């Protein structure tokens, strides 16, 4: 599990919340899709917040899962596409192709991008 001790530092917590509010949220609102790498067993607060915003903003979600990391069943169901590849040069190239295909499909399906 991630070290969340920084949450005890009120100054740091407020700065992080402001960064989410004024940086991450506007970027996600302006994006057509959200792409994330599966954190596996690791609880990453930034990833969790971004995934929550993605779902609440009804953005398409692409999850990349390298090396057969455990993937939460609810995350798998929320994803429009899960790409599962080994973390190798060949795996990255195959993932890039699948990402391109996914983005092309989105563009074709929604010419007025979200």
Helical segments of the chain, H only: 10-19, 25-30, 45-56, 73-78, 89-109
State how many domains the chain has. Answer: 1
How are beta strands 34-37 and 81-85 bridged, if at all?
unpaired
In a domain, 36, yes or no: yes
Tens-place pLDDT, residues 63-77: 999 888 899 999 999
The mean per-residue pLDDT over the stretch 76-92 comes to: 94
What's the pLDDT band for 10 if we cut at 50, 70, 90?
A: confident
In degrees, to the nearest 5, what angle opens at C-alpha 30 toward C-alphas 15 and 106? 135
Inside any domain, residue 81: yes
85 in a structural domain: yes
The tokens describing 4, both together, are 């969340």
Residue-level pLDDT at 1 = 45
pLDDT at 92: 93
* pTM reported for the whole predicted model: 0.79
For the domain that residue 30 is a member of, what is the CATH number?
3.40.50.450
Q: Could you say which DSSP state residue 63 is in? A: E
93: domain range?
5-109
Residue 114, domain member (yes or no): no
Q: Is residue 79 part of a domain?
A: yes
Write the pLDDT tens digit of every residue in 39-52.
Answer: 888 888 888 999 99
Across the chain, mean pLDDT equals 88
Residue 49 covered by a domain: yes
Residue 35: partners with Cβ closer than 8 Å, 6 or more residues away:
61, 62, 63, 64, 99
């Amino acid at each position: 599990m991630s070290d969340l001790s920084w949450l005890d530092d009120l100054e740091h917590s407020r700065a992080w919340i402001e960064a989410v509010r004024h940086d991450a949220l506007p970027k996600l609102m302006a994006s057509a899709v959200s792409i994330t790498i599966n954190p596996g067993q690791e609880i990453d607060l930034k990833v969790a917040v971004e995934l929550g915003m993605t779902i609440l903003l009804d953005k398409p979600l692409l999850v990349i899962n390298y090396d057969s990391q455990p993937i939460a069943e609810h995350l798998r169901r929320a994803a429009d596409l899960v790409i599962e590849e080994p973390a190798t040069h060949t795996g990255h190239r195959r993932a890039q192709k699948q990402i391109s295909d996914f983005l092309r499909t989105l563009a074709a399906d929604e010419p007025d991008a979200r």
